[in-house]
Amino acid sequence: MPSYRGLKPCPSTLSKRPAKKDRALSGIQPLCSSTRFPIADIDATPYNAPPMAKLKKNPTGTIAQNKKARHDYFIEHKFEAGLVLAGWEVKSLRATKVQLVDSYVLLKDGEAWLMGCHITPLKTASTHVIADPTRTRKLLLNKRELEKLTSSVQQKGYACVALSVYWKEHLIKCEIALGKGKKEYDKRHTERERDSDRELQRAVRSKGKDD
């Protein structure tokens, strides 16, 4: 009987039975260097996608005004103050849920505080925070402005009132002012001027429609 020891298997026999790893990858077709893929046109739209939404800009404009202060006082000097607010208050101000009718500025111990400003909490406000609509809110001013306000109120008989709350870029500012109280006849004169201005505006609008 012939002996097969020392004989090597034929290469053709090995090619018929690939290794286990090769058998697992047998379904994958290798990419040839000559394979080419089509390049999409840069100007082409792959699908009818809606346009991208524009980034929301910072809110701008006046949030609330204190018209009563302008009616009751002669406004002389104005100041722009920062306002320390809680998170729920900022959300309410975005929705213009604020009133300044009974607000005023308290100057005490070298600091300024906004009193009587009513900010209505939204229904979606967190229940973990006790929202006080009329809490005392700190105003941010520099030292020189605080000294001028304090001396004017204490020595010259001025009143410090809040005129408006407004957006400045992404910040909320409060416009405050020094004013002298009006007498009754001054208030009546202011009302007459306001009424005459309204009549003039109506006349201008009606004339524009006729033209």
pLDDT tens digit sequence for 157-201: 899 999 999 999 899 999 999 999 887 756 666 667 766 666 777
CA angle 146/169/135 to nearest 5° reads 50
- Beta-bridge mates of residue 159: 179
CA-CA distance, 84 to 147, in Å (whole number)? 20
* 31 against 147, higher pLDDT: 147
Q: Could you give the CA distance from residue 61 to residue 167 in angstroms, rounded to a whole number? A: 6
On the question of pLDDT at 119 being above 70, the answer is yes
Contact predicate 119/89, CB 8 Å: yes
SS3 209: helix
Q: CA geometry: angle at 22 spanning 16 and 25, to 5°? A: 125
What mean pLDDT do residues 43-68 have?
65
Residue with the larger pLDDT of the pair 113 and 206: 113
Q: Which residue has the tokens 């975005």?
A: 94
The more confidently predicted of residues 92 and 50 is: 92
Query: Which domains, ranges and CATH numbers included, belong to the chain?
Result: 61-182 (2.40.280.10)
State the pLDDT at residue 36: 58
Residue 72 in this model has a pLDDT that exceeds 60 = yes
